Amino acid sequence: MSRDQIPGLLEEREAYGETTLVVEPGRLLEALGHMRDERGFAFLADITATDYLGWREEARDVAGHLGTAAGRDLNAPSSQGLELLPEPKPKRFSLSYHLLSLEDRSRVRVQAWLDDGEAVESAVSVWPTADWHEREAFDLMGIRFSGHPNLTRLLMDDDWEGHPLRKDYPIGGEPVRFSSAE
């Protein structure tokens, strides 16, 4: 795909046989519309938000990373060989749209990077199926979609506080009613 045609394209990556197109968050909707209308990606399979808070830090506390080419350093006790840290990420959240072309059977991932609180335009006008996917991303990850007709919580209670799939949300952090302490 040529770079100048997709609106707001920042980067095109190939990994594991999959294509990822990183676009500017401000022009995401434009890019998605272009993918649907000009490139035949008529089918939106999925929208996934991922929280990268603590990425590269959490990886340190476990021994012996992949690619320990040099092995352990015997002269430095308890060193764990080559510490392979993952690639840095531009912002905290990634938002991935998995698109599918029913005509030539190809798949592509359109990705935008967002900071906490940064809003993107809703894709409901491009694909109605985005409705629940975006509500889920809002509910569990706290991504804001401007222009969504009904951006309310989907899976959690309406009065739930916090966004459970964020990395700073503890597992088992919900209050338990009727516990012995009450």
Partner 1 sequence: MAVHPPAARVRQPRLIYEGTRIPSPIPTVLQVRPELMEQGDIMQINFGPNHPSTHGVLRLIVDLDGERVVGLAAVVGYLHTGFEKTMEHKTWWKAITYPERIDYVSFQNNELVFVLAIEKLLALETPPKAVWMRTLLCELNRIHSHLVFLATAALELGAISMFWYCFRERDQILDLFELVTGARMHTRYFQAGGLAEDIPRGFYDECRTFCERMPHAIDQYESLVDRNRIWLERTQGVGLLSAADAIALGQSGPVLRASGVDWDVRRTDPYLAYDQLDFNVPVYENGDVYDRYRVRMEEMRESTRIVEQCLEGMPEGPWIADDRKVVLPPREELHTSMESLIHHFKLVTEGYRVPEGEVYVPIESPRGELGCYVVSDGGPKPWRVKFRAPSFVALEATATCMHDALVADLIAIVGSLDSVMGEVDR
Q: What are phi and psi of 130, to 5 degrees?
A: -65, -15
First to last CA, the chain: 61
Residue 1 near partner 1 by CB under 8 A: no
What 8-state DSSP symbol labels residue 169? Answer: S
Whether the Cβ atoms of residue 126 and residue 29 lie closer than 8 Å to each other:
yes
Q: Are 100 and 43 in contact (CB under 8 A)?
A: yes
Please give the size of the binding site for partner 1, defined by CB under 8 A: 49
Instruction: State which residue, 2 or 177, has the beta carbon closest to partner 1.
Output: 177
Among 11, 37, 38, 46, binds partner 1 (CB under 8 A): 46
Q: Which residues bind partner 1 (CB under 8 A)?
A: 15-16, 18, 20, 42-46, 48, 50-52, 55-56, 58-59, 62-63, 65-66, 84, 86-87, 96, 98, 102-103, 105, 107, 109, 124, 127-129, 131-132, 140, 149-150, 153-157, 164-165, 169, 171
